[in-house]
Structure 1
Amino acid sequence: MTTFKRASIDRPAYTLPGQYFTSAEIFAREQEQIFARQWICVGRSADVPSAGDYRLVEIAGESLILLRDHNQRLCAYYNVCRHRGARLCTEMQGRLGETIVCPYHAWTYRLDGTLATARYMQDAPGFRREDWPLIGATVAEWDGFVFISLASQPVPFNQAFAPLIGKFQAWDVGRLQRGAQIVYEVAANWKLIVANYSECYHCPLIHPELVAVSPWQSGRNDLTSGPFLGGYMDLTHESMTLDGHTRRPPLPGLDPVDRRRVYYYSIFPNLLLSLHPDYVMAHRLLPRRPDATTVICEWYFAPEIATAADFDPSDAVEFWDRTNRQDWHVCELSQQGVSSRAYRPGPYAQSEGLLWQFDQEYLRVMAQE
């Protein structure tokens, strides 16, 4: 049986020093130590639904081609020709057909990454086409999300994500369809955004709409250490909407308890997953600079709802767009404050226990050789 408990801290605990949010050197280390080694969420399986469909994704400053091959297998390749290094794809998404052709010298690759043709290379000493496939990265799919690891030998996904495998089965997240997307540019460090997501200490001060439908002190957590953190908050109305009501029915797999809760989980390092009774929302973080993060927020609904002629997700989108913008504002205020020479690490409150645990996981990963 899953045990949920309040966030707590069992010793004096303090926020990270300011350089962790402002230093270009630390940001560069994060890109190498975290984003180039961990499993990074890059989108949804439905983004590349058919053979030949592709999207460009960026991880740790690298451009990768995420595509589905002729066996319907998801693949990811560095967007780099093996000849002279030219970018292969320049459009953010599209359909490749049978091959990937370099625009510079027309080296041509099959969708499985193997080199099909290399113009006038047959006389090059020692050249063999089989020696020059595209460089790939490891891909995993989980609950409809796509993850990529740039590590040469990543921890197997099912091992790394063992605490989450099957955990959200009742929501059937892989079946849900995207009903809306908003992309935000936030002038704050990515860790401040994760921290803000992980506590409701601030909620009665800046989220009047949220506390009207979900008591801010109701949070209880079942994942309280490591790379995955979170739990639930009570829901006193039908849905997280501005008036608390919706015409959508609850997702069909939920029991009566889960229909009165919203679950919030941070999935290290860049996915924030929010599971509601009638929809699921995800924030995907793309760190740009120490003080800048792109946040892609998406809402997912049951397909029978999302494909209906009268489908209208605006009640959920308006609620969270307002809440998001309230959050981004205080995250940007935090970024401005931690950039001051007057800033010193401050004490965490008991209700900020998950933030301290996130810091411990972050520091552990940053210290790895």
Structure 2
Amino acid sequence: MNEIVRDLNVPNDWDRRGLPGWTYHSDALLELEKQHVFREHWQIACHISDLPEPGSYLTMDIVGERALILRGQDGVIRGFHNICKHRGSRLVADEQGKCRNALVCPFHGWVYNLDGTLRGPSRPNTFPPLDKVQFGLTPLDTEIWMGFVFIRFAKGQQASVAEIMQPFADELRPYQSETMVPAGEIFTQTTPVNWKSVRDVDNEGYHVAMAHPALQDLYGQTYYDEPYVNGICRSFATYNPHAGRRWSVRNYVKISQDNPRLPERLKKAWIYYGLFPNCVIAVTPETVQFYQEFPISRTQTMLRGAVYCYKDETREQEVARYLQMRIDRDTLSEDVQLTIWSNEAMASKSFGNFYLSDLEYGVRTHHDHLRRVLPVMTLEKAPEEKEVAEVNARMRVGA
């Protein structure tokens, strides 16, 4: 067992039900989630290697907000709302790219420096004097941790990423993730479910043996989950001694080499670090990756993520990474189907509620985190849609 494993004693009398079904099918609740669950919590935008040079930028549209992440002439990475201060136009239209030394609004030609300050409006004589900071781009909370760029759209109760993730820092540090480079583009995929159904599946490994043949072949009995504690969780597995029944797994285990950067206990480990509400950083001996999900509507979710590898990877590491991708691709496809089936049940009057195994305690603890943010989710019976926000506000005051 890994030395950072926390107390996993599951209470004997814990409530094995999950969130009530109405919370997966309420538009009013979704609006509260967008603000209090997503905008007020840290989100992974990218990796520093996605912005390699001054002028490199990346945009990100989620939960009704538009983010622009930009490396300035001074090399500093900053996050801004992708909104021109003049008329609110989208300042940068492309998902990723590079500009020379300024950003020019495509609507009226206002010009911004790479540090977000206003350089000047077009036809400046038609305006009174404009303060360069006041009329500059609106900044986002931005933090870099282990090479990943985190942003936050609104102030919330979360501490800094470094403080929250501190229990995992020593274990993750040997991977030197801040030195890695993109193994491909940031991907997005849409799936027809509520976002919580995605997280419910990802927060437990009880289903691995039945639903994920490749992962079960790779992990065997080595896989275990840790529940959400103080906003973080972890899942850990190593190659099992009998791995290799499936082609991808057999060849992955055969070609995967010891990473000299890693201590012995991590050289055959696949680890998943969760950050509430929806972010995961996953490591293998060859790669580090992130993935997350965002609600598009109460019935549609965007999956988003990217994989990063070492600059000096060997041919064997490259092949191992390809085989790992095959395993992950199959796992994602299997998980998408599971989320669809589970999400369908939430709308059925014939389905009572979850009855969770001890191995699914991670689902319960994630739900508990959600209940603390939005206490209206503790109600078994749905309030009237028009009353959800008001009921939640009263419950927050009384908490």
Q: TM-score, normalised by structure 2?
A: 0.83
> Match for 2:239: what amino acid?
L
* Aligned partners of 1:19 and 1:26 also within 8 Å: no
Q: Provide the rounded CA distance (Å) in 2 between the counterparts of 1:115 and 1:53.
A: 18
* Aligned partners of 2:37 and 2:277 also within 8 Å: yes
* Aligned partners of 2:205 and 2:225 also within 8 Å: no
Assess, with a 3 A threshold, how the Cα gap between structure 1 residues 25 and 117 changes in structure 2: closer, same or farther.
same
3-state SS in 2 of match to 1:274: strand
Aligned to 1:360: 368
Aligned to 1:75: 78
Aligned to 2:249: 242
Q: Provide the rounded CA distance (Å) in 1 between the counterparts of 2:222 and 2:155.
A: 43
Assess, with a 3 A threshold, how the Cα gap between structure 1 residues 125 and 345 changes in structure 2: closer, same or farther.
same
* Aligned partners of 2:45 and 2:149 also within 8 Å: yes
**Deviations 1:24-44 (CA, angstroms, capped at 9, x unpaired):** 111111110021111111121
Structure 1 range deviating more: 80-89 or 183-192: 183-192
Assess, with a 3 A threshold, how the Cα gap between structure 1 residues 183 and 81 changes in structure 2: closer, same or farther.
closer
**Deviations 1:191-242 (CA, angstroms, capped at 9, x unpaired):** 2222212212112221122212212574153x64221112312421589943
Aligned to 2:69: 66
C-alpha RMSD of matched pairs (Å)? 2.6
Assess, with a 3 A threshold, how the Cα gap between structure 1 residues 224 and 92 changes in structure 2: closer, same or farther.
closer
> Match for 1:228: what amino acid?
I
Aligned to 1:8: 10
Write the mapping of 1:211-250 to structure 2, written as runs, cut at 5 A. 211-216=216-221, 218-219=223-224, 221=226, 224-236=228-240, 241-243=248-250, 244-250=252-258
2:325 paired with 1:320: no
Assess, with a 3 A threshold, how the Cα gap between structure 1 residues 99 and 285 changes in structure 2: closer, same or farther.
same
Task: Say which of 18, 22, 25 aligns to 1:22.
Answer: 25
Assess, with a 3 A threshold, how the Cα gap between structure 1 residues 251 and 83 changes in structure 2: closer, same or farther.
same
> Match for 2:255: what amino acid?
R
Structure 1 range deviating more: 164-173 or 202-211: 164-173
3-state SS in 1 of match to 2:277: coil
Aligned to 2:339: 331
**Deviations 1:63-114 (CA, angstroms, capped at 9, x unpaired):** 1211100011111121211112222111222212111111222111111111
* Aligned partners of 1:121 and 1:127 also within 8 Å: no
> Match for 2:78: what amino acid?
C
2:184 paired with 1:184: no
> Match for 1:301: what amino acid?
C
Aligned to 1:205: 210
Q: Provide the rounded CA distance (Å) in 1 between the counterparts of 2:134 and 2:307.
A: 43
> Match for 1:188: what amino acid?
V
> Match for 1:226: what amino acid?
N
Aligned to 2:309: 301
* Structure 1: runs of 5+ lacking an equivalent: none
2:299 paired with 1:291: yes
Structure 1 range deviating more: 154-163 or 49-58: 154-163
> Match for 1:200: what amino acid?
G
Aligned to 1:44: 47
Q: Once the two structures are aligned, what percentage of the paired residues are identical?
A: 20
Query: How far has the Cα of 1:347 moved from its partner?
Result: 1.8
Assess, with a 3 A threshold, how the Cα gap between structure 1 residues 101 and 203 changes in structure 2: closer, same or farther.
same
Aligned to 2:378: none
Greater than 6 Å deviation, 4+ residue runs = none
Assess, with a 3 A threshold, how the Cα gap between structure 1 residues 356 and 322 changes in structure 2: closer, same or farther.
same
> Match for 1:175: what amino acid?
T
Q: Provide the rounded CA distance (Å) in 1 between the counterparts of 2:9 and 2:339.
A: 21
Q: Provide the rounded CA distance (Å) in 2 between the counterparts of 1:234 and 1:60.
A: 36
Q: Provide the rounded CA distance (Å) in 2 between the counterparts of 1:88 and 1:139.
A: 19
Assess, with a 3 A threshold, how the Cα gap between structure 1 residues 82 and 220 changes in structure 2: closer, same or farther.
closer
Aligned to 2:359: 351
Q: TM-score, normalised by structure 1?
A: 0.90
Q: Provide the rounded CA distance (Å) in 2 between the counterparts of 1:104 and 1:220.
A: 50
* Aligned partners of 2:204 and 2:225 also within 8 Å: no
Aligned to 1:105: 108
> Match for 1:356: what amino acid?
R
Assess, with a 3 A threshold, how the Cα gap between structure 1 residues 41 and 116 changes in structure 2: closer, same or farther.
same
Q: Provide the rounded CA distance (Å) in 1 between the counterparts of 2:126 and 2:189.
A: 52
Q: Provide the rounded CA distance (Å) in 2 between the counterparts of 1:282 and 1:152.
A: 23
3-state SS in 1 of match to 2:229: coil
> Match for 1:326: what amino acid?
E
